[in-house]
Each structure stands twice: as structure tokens, then as C-alpha cells.
Chains A and B, each alone.
Chain A
Amino acid sequence: MIDAVIEEQSLLPDAKTLERLAISESGFVFDPVSGHSFTLNETGLEILRTLQKNRHLGALLEQLSVEYDVDRSTLDRDLLEFLGSLRDQLLRP
């Protein structure tokens, strides 16, 4: 399953990083340690907020599959893509 793969690849941002992020209603995200900022759409914002509260992929996938009318493989692919880009944002330069 996707969560096992993702865990293995360490695609999830660590809890400490997630906790410190300043997330605005507008979708603007600021990391006070790195000084980086980036923007998210509504769905991205929801995912990040969910991860901030509970860093558990299984629960996140469950929540998203209930909320969005999309087949599981598409959801897995999109989520993997999003987490990859989130990681890039948080780990850049």
C-alpha cells in the first residue's frame, strides 16, 4: 500500500517541521526556521492541516477518499505527488 511505500521513502515531513509551520487561511505557508514560504490550494491546505494534527497517512487517505470522488489509485498517485512537492518545498534550497 501507498502508506508503507511513503513511510519507507520518508516522504512525509517530520513532525517538528510540520508543527512549526505558520499556515494562513489564504493558503500561504511560512517556515520560520528556513524562511521559506510557498502557497497551497484548498486541497493542499487541508492535507497539510490534517498532517499537522495527525501525521498518519492511513487516516489521511481514509479522509480524502470519503471527501473526494476519486478512485484509490488516482488518490494514491496524487497524494504521492503532493507529498513529494511538499517535501521539496520544505527541504529546498
Chain B
Amino acid sequence: MNVMASPFNIAVTGMNSRPDNPGPGMAVARCLREARGFDGRIIGLGYEALDPGLHLPRYSDAGYLLPYPSSGDDAFLERVQLIHEREGIDALIPCLDAELPSVTRLADQLDSMGIATFLPSSDQLALRNKDRLEELADHAGIACPETKSVTHEEFFYNSGREGWHYPFVVKGIFYDAEVVKTPEQGAAAFARISAQWGLPVLVQRFLKGEEVNLTAVGDGRGRLLGAVMMRKLALTDKGKAWAGVTITDDTFLAASAALVAATRWKGPLEVEVMREPDGTYQLIEINPRFPAWVYLTVGSGRNLLEVLLKLMSNQEPEDPGPAPAGLIYIRYAEDMVIPLAEYESVVMNGWRLQ
């Protein structure tokens, strides 16, 4: 299959754009629109009728609702089958963490339907479980913050006895994190996070450094391609980047390359590390998808969607090397206007009016 040949239809998920925590889908679609050699259609997939990427022709030629991942693999596959019959999907790019386990499990079935993916294996995905952070950090050759599983709120009142002094971070097993400074805050975070994400809840040492991120594509054979590194310059209330600047950090790049080489990571990824004032690097996590700031890769001359499309086409993309430092991106929000009938179509049918 040659995904660079046109016409070619690519489905992209995560087409929401909530300013405080945007999904990567619209940025991925924007990169696709600007990818050299790609002249196909983009099928935007989302979970809410108000996801803007479902309605915006600039980024999607069609828009469809998906069932939430919690609905299970069968519901997801059934929906994709319907969209495939209507649109003829050639490739699927999942952009949300919660979708990855399901899409990875279904990769063979999708392939038999003629829908290509380029994703990490289930084993590779399992490596990013929060309780395997140390193993992942070993692959990268850097440290990681000490983490402990907690199942009772009493821990937060007696943590000092176990060597855990405030502040530290309380994390959900799958998602969510909160810095707590007192036993009361700790117990409250434990109650909130365990109610939403279940047990155990994780506590992690608080790091004083600053976070830097890298995005790239792993070719599945150990190569890290098109790395772009970034430090956040401005954050939303949820701690997501609102502005950032490219950096060239050889230590971080080498750690990420080592991680990809050791795991033979396949597909897009985002590596998050904390750089401490003494120069120590602590691995925070890796995300098995492009980040919402992926358009910075276009701005720095390394459109990662071009790299991904070539890999999907069994071509050998050249590694353009790390991006230059000093390119700044600034996110912004803008309004769009759609007729009621279009909104009605998405609510009632699950797809945008054609």
C-alpha cells in the first residue's frame, strides 16, 4: 500500500480542541494537509458533536462520532466498519492515549479491512504503564522519580514514617496528577483520583526541575526519526502547553534514541522528562501518539506526518536530524460558525452533512 499516492483517505481521531487540554487530532490533520506528497482526504473522528475538527473543512473532509473507548472493541470496530463503508478509509491515526490499547488489539482486523496503522505493539504499550516507569527509564539510561502504589488514605497521614515527605505527586493509574502539600490535600486527591481511575493510586516524588518534551517517530526497528524537542513557555490551567520553544538538548535526544532503540518502538511518541537544576534527567512518561504541539514539527521543517506516511508505505524515510533551537509556537483559540442542521446531523446520525 502506498499512502503517499493520491487519492488516499486517512482517518484521524482526537479532533477536539478544548483550549485547556486540546486533543492532538486537529494538529495532526493540519500537518497532514501540509505533508508533501499527500493529497488525500482526511476523515475527522471525535467523541462529541461539538468537537470542532469534525466540522472544519480546513482540517477534515468528513466528520464522524466514535463510541467512547469504554464501550469496548466491538462497538469501536462496528463504527469504524460503517465509516469505512461510507468513506473508504486507507489508514487510521489514533491520537488519544485511551484509544491506543483498543486500536493496537484491533490492528490485524483493521489491516484485513484495508485500514493501515503504524503503532506500537501491545507489549510496547504495556511498557508505558506507570508501574513500569523504572524499566522504561533503564532503557533510556536516565533516572525516574521514585513511585509507590497506595491503596489506603491513611498513607497520607503517616507518609513521613515511610520516608515520604510533602510535597509529592498523587497520580491515577491511567491518568491525572496532582501535587499535594499536606496530609489533607493528599487524602482529598486520593479520594478524587481513586474514584475516577480506581486503585491503586500512585504517589511520586516531587521534582523541582522543568519539563522538556520530545516528539518523533520510531520506525519499529530501533531508529528514532525527526526528533523535535521543546520546552513549554506558557501553560493552561491543566498544565498543558500554550506556547513553547524548540531546544537542542543532546542528552535528552540520546536518552530518547536509546529508549526507542531498546524497545524498537513503532509509531509516533512523545517523551516527557524533567530536567533538574543539577542537570539530572528524570523520565516522567512516554505517550504513544503525537502531541497536540505536533505542528511545531512542520514549523521546524520536520513534518512528522510525512515520516509516518512513508513508514506506512514501507518506504525508508530519511532522518532529517533534530530540529534547530529557537522556534516558538503560540497556540490560540478561534471561533467557527456552523448551521444548526450540521450540528443536528452529527447529534442524530453521528456524521457531518456532506
Contact = CB atoms under 8 A, between A and B. Distances in A.
Contacts of B209: 93
B208 interface: yes
Nearest to A91: B277
Interface stretch (B123-131, B165-173, B241-249, B295-303): B241-249
B245 A35 contact: yes
A33 interface: yes
Interface in B239-295: 244-250, 275, 277
B248 A32 contact: yes
B247 A34 contact: yes
B326 A32 contact: yes
Interface residues of B, number: 18
A33 B248 contact: yes
B316 to A, nearest CB: 30
A93 B247 contact: no
Given A35-B231, A93-B208, A93-B210, A30 B326 contact: yes
24 contacts: A22-B326, A30-B325, A30-B326, A32-B247, A32-B248, A32-B325, A32-B326, A33-B247, A33-B248, A33-B249, A33-B250, A33-B325, A34-B210, A34-B275, A35-B230, A35-B233, A35-B244, A35-B325, A37-B245, A91-B277, A92-B210, A92-B277, A93-B208, A93-B210
Contacts of A33: 247-250, 325
Contacts of B249: 33
Nearest to A30: B326
Main secondary structure of the interface of A (DSSP, over half): loop
A37 B248 CA distance: 14
Interface residues of A, number: 11
A34 B231 contact: yes
Interface of B: 208-210, 212, 230-231, 233, 244-250, 275, 277, 325-326
Interface in A30-59: 30, 32-37
Main secondary structure of the interface of B (DSSP, over half): strand
Most buried by A among B230, B244, B275: B275
Contacts of A34: 210, 231, 247, 275
Nearest to B278: A91
B326 to A, nearest CB: 6
Contacts of A22: 326
Most buried by B among A33, A35, A37, A91: A35
Contacts of B230: 35
Given A22-B326, A30-B326, A35 B212 contact: yes
A53 to B, nearest CB: 22
A29 B222 CA distance: 37
Given A32-B247, A34-B231, A35-B325, 8 more contacts: A33-B247, A33-B325, A34-B275, A35-B244, A35-B245, A35-B246, A35-B247, A92-B277
Contacts of B212: 35
Contacts of B250: 33
